[in-house]
Amino acid sequence: MSEFSERVTLGRSGLRVSKLGLGASFKAPTAAYLEAFERGVNYFYWGSINRSMMGDAIREIARHKREEICVVLQSYSRWSWPLQFAFESAIRKLGIGYADVLLLGWYNKPPPRAVLDTARELQQRELVRKVAISTHRRSFLPTLLDDETYSIWHLRYNAVHRGAERDVFPCLEGRNEATRPGLVTYTTTRWGHLCDPSRTPPGERTPTGTDCYRFSLSNPNVDTCLAGPDSTNHMRQALAALELGPLDEEEQAWMRRVGDHIYGGDRSSGIRDGA
């Protein structure tokens, strides 16, 4: 069995989750999400853009195995009342009773006090277990290292955008899972660019989705990486990463070469890197 097939403790959240997480913004059918759950995937990320296919899967799973699925509800709201309204509406819509994680989305500086007060109130009412934060400003995250408000960090990391290796991962060194945040990465295929043959440097093999997920998960600081499957085939590419496990050194070097070529060939790379 691959080490990626085993569930991990998501840092100081204490949640036991799969190495692969799934987003709701894409078009994979409900059956594909259910197949992923049966194969051990339990991190289901219900963002502000979502589709009914994942929602139907969450409802079906939660009816009988609510404690086995980790449901993440995201909010981009900068005001308390829309956050609370949307959050409680999502809980009712999904039929889950509570969310495992409330993800405060796209904060490049500390959230407003009213938003944090609402998050704490939802925790006190046992409507949410843990609070996470996502950012595109990597240097912001180390300032939150000892802030236990946030049990989980979401950040971009892939073979093109590897700045987390410099700006985020070093601050986690020497920390055990009980004293560090859980780390979840997204944009693993760089919006599909890593899998686009027209962007691959001459003489190099074009990565698959499987390769991209394995690249992210091969970094020991990454607990879980998110996949955005648009079809059953995409879902199975993602699941294959769990079976195959980490990339070896030669494979990692190849992914970095492809990533460097794409970064250098896209004039928007620097803007995307910090936006």
- For residue 267, how many C-alpha atoms fall within 13 Å in the half-sphere facing its CB? 0
What's the total number of domains in the chain?
1
Q: Are strands 182-186 and 152-156 parallel, antiparallel or unpaired?
A: parallel
Quick one: CA torsion of 187, 193, 196, 202, rounded to 10 degrees?
Answer: -120
Other beta carbons within 10 angstroms of residue 169's beta carbon come to 20
| CB-facing half-sphere around the CA of 46: CA atoms within 13 A | 29
Q: What integer pLDDT is reported at residue 266 of this predicted model?
A: 87
Three-state secondary structure call for residue 105: coil
Across the range 138-145, mean pLDDT stands at 96
Domain that holds residue 161: 3-274
Number of C-beta neighbours around residue 218 at 10 A: 18
We report the CATH number of the domain holding residue 150 as 3.20.20.100
Full-model pTM:
0.95
- Interval 71-113: pLDDT, tens: 999 999 999 999 999 999 999 999 999 999 999 999 999 999 9
Across 224-234, average pLDDT: 94
Q: Give 206 or 49, the one with higher predicted confidence.
A: 206
Encode pLDDT of 146-176 as tens digits: 999 999 999 999 999 999 999 999 999 999 9
Backbone φ/ψ region at 135: left (φ over 0), alpha (ψ -120 to 50), beta? beta
